[in-house]
Amino acid sequence: MSARIDITGHRFGRLTAISYVKPSRWLCRCDCGHETIVARSCLKNGHTKSCGCLHTEVVIARFTKHGHTVNGRLSPTYSSWKSMLARCTNPKKRYWMNYGGRGIGVCDRWRHSFENFLADMGEKPSGLTLERTNNELGYSPENCRWATYTEQARNKRPQRPETITRGERSRSAKLTAEKIIVIRADPRKYQTIADQYHVSPSTIGEIKRREIWRHIP
């Protein structure tokens, strides 16, 4: 049986070994004042460097480094950025079919960095909202601005002339049961499919989600 290696007084990150307590475990005191029992192997390989306070500080720093997430509350600017990403990348979001579903995306510079978005757009002014100058293009520094709700309403994408109500869709002769089955299996963007069948992207979205024509297999 090999002799136990004494590590009393040795430092491992923020931890200092105080005394041996049980097989392969040591009582350690953290720089923050707390004491904890840690396996010797975790101390030696660097897996454990504190009583847990270091991890907490890293997490807090990660979410507050840009100053827009404090105590779990998001700033208006950060909320706009998160909402932009959600409607372009998350099919479960309510308005996704009008954004990501029809090919509207977020440029790489913004998609992976709130800091870049903040540097390009600045703080969100009170009463303004994020708007794309050209509604057929995605979110990027060249195509976005902070605008009033009135300005954004004036810049809305024109309603497609072939758009029809849900009740009318169910009676539409344009989409037969066979076509609907083909549409459900079509991997292309909603806008592309909609153009082919002369219907709105929202109609394609509802077909994909089976919200209408539920009687069709």
Is residue 49 included in any domain, yes or no? Answer: yes
Q: What is the pLDDT of residue 22?
A: 83
Answer yes or no: is 67 within a domain: no
Q: Are residues 134 and 189 in the same domain?
A: no
> Between 58 and 125, where is the model more confident?
125
Q: Which two tokens stand for residue 214?
A: 């539920």
Same domain assignment for residues 185 and 127 = no
Whether residue 143 is found in the same domain as residue 78: yes
* Residue 170 domain boundaries: 166-208
Low-confidence winner among 12-16, 112-116, 200-204 (lowest mean pLDDT): 200-204
DSSP 8-state assignment for residue 99: T
Question: Is pLDDT above 70 for 66?
Answer: no
Residue where a domain stops, chosen among 154, 178, 199:
154
In the predicted model, is pLDDT for residue 81 greater than 70?
yes
Domain boundary among 42, 62, 82: 62
Three-state DSSP state, 125: coil
- E strands within the chain? 11-12, 15-22, 25-30, 35-39, 69-70, 73-74, 129-132, 144-147
Whole-number Å distance between alpha carbons of 136 and 133: 9
- Based on the domain organization, do 34 and 92 belong to the same domain? no
- Residues 92, 27, single domain; the answer is no
Identify whether residues 172 and 112 lie together within a single domain. no
This prediction has a pTM of: 0.45
Amino acid at 192: T
**Residue 208 in contact with residue 166, Cβ under 8 Å?**
no
Would you say residue 4 lies in a domain? no
* Residue 196 is assigned to a structural domain of this protein: yes
Confidence (pLDDT) at 80 = 92
Q: What is the pLDDT of residues 142-188, one digit of tens each?
A: 999 999 888 877 776 554 444 444 444 443 445 777 778 778 888 88
Residue 117 lies in a domain: yes
Assess whether 121 and 78 both reside in one domain.
yes
- Closest to 166 (Cα-Cα) out of 106, 213, 98, 113: 213
Distances (CA, A) of 153 to 129, 130, 135, 159, 182: 11, 12, 12, 12, 35
Tell me, yes or no, whether 20 and 58 share the same domain: yes
Do 58 and 82 have their domain in common?
Answer: no
**Residue 102 sits in the same domain as residue 125:** yes
Q: Indicate if 57 and 15 belong to the same structural domain.
A: yes
Note the pLDDT of residue 107.
Answer: 93
Number of domains in the chain: 3
